[in-house]
Amino acid sequence: MWPGREWGARPRGSLRTAGAAPSACVSALDLALGVLLLRLAVKEWRGRPRGDEEVTLPKWMRTVDSFTPVKALALGTALSAVNPKNLLLSIAAASAIARTDDSAGAQAVALAVYVVLGAIGPGAPLVLYFALKERSQHILDGLKLWMERHNTAIMAVICLLFAAKLVGSAISDLSSG
C-alpha cells in the first residue's frame, strides 16, 4: 500500500487513475484500432456475395464436413488463435473492457459477457446437435448455408460496431483532454 492511498488505488504514472480519462497514447491506440476495424468492415461488406452470386469457399472449408471431432477441434482452435479478424476484435474488446471501470470485478463481468457472446455462435449448433440429435440435421444444414452466404456481412457488422465504439471513445477522450 502506498502512503496516503487506499487499497486498490493506482500509483501515479499508471495509464488510468480513478475517474480520469485514458492517456492520449491509449486513446490514439483505440483510434488506430477503430480505423483498422472500419477498413476491415468496408472490405468485408464490399466482398460479400450479391444477388444469386455463388459463394466461393476456400478448399479447406469445403473439406470440414469430413473432419473427425478431434481434427475439427484442432482446426477451430488454430483458426481462432491465428485469424487476424479474431485478434483485432479481441484487442478491441480488451480495450473496451479496460475502459469499463477501475474495479477488477466490473472488468471480469465485461470479459465474461464478451466470452459468452463470442461462444454463442459456435456453441448454438453444438447445443442443437446434442439436444435434437438426428432432427437437428435439417436445421444445421440450413444454418450452415445461411452462414456461408452471409458470413462477410456478419463480420462487417461486428467490425463496424467495434470500430464505432473505439473511434467514438477515442475522439471523446482526445477532445476532452
The string of pLDDT tens digits covering residues 44-102 is 999 888 888 888 777 777 788 888 888 888 888 887 777 777 788 888 888 888 877 66
CA–CA gap between residue 139 and residue 146 (Å, rounded): 11
User: Residue 76: inside a domain, yes or no?
Assistant: yes
Quick one: angle between helices 84-98 and 69-82, nearest 10?
60
User: Residue 106: inside a domain, yes or no?
Assistant: yes
User: Residue 2: inside a domain, yes or no?
Assistant: no
User: Residue 7: inside a domain, yes or no?
Assistant: no
Please state the domain count of the chain: 1
User: Residue 40: inside a domain, yes or no?
Assistant: yes
In the chain, alpha helices (H): 24-46, 59-62, 69-82, 84-98, 104-132, 136-176
Residue 15: its H or E element: none
| AA letter at 123 | G
pLDDT at 171: 92
pLDDT at 20: 58
User: Residue 47: inside a domain, yes or no?
Assistant: yes
Structural domain range at position 51: 24-176
User: Residue 38: which of 119, 133, 156 has the closest Cα?
Assistant: 156
pLDDT at 54: 82
φ, ψ of residue 50 to 5 degrees: the values are: -115, 145
125 by Cβ neighbours in 10 Å (0-12 / 13-18 / 19+) ranks as: middle
pLDDT at 11: 42
User: Residue 169: inside a domain, yes or no?
Assistant: yes
CA–CA gap between residue 136 and residue 121 (Å, rounded): 16
User: Residue 56: inside a domain, yes or no?
Assistant: yes
pTM higher than 0.85, yes or no? no
List of residues 6+ apart from 93 with CB closer than 8 A: 114, 162
Counting Cα atoms < 13 Å in the Cβ hemisphere of 164 gives 8
pLDDT at 21: 62
Mean pLDDT of 9-33: 66
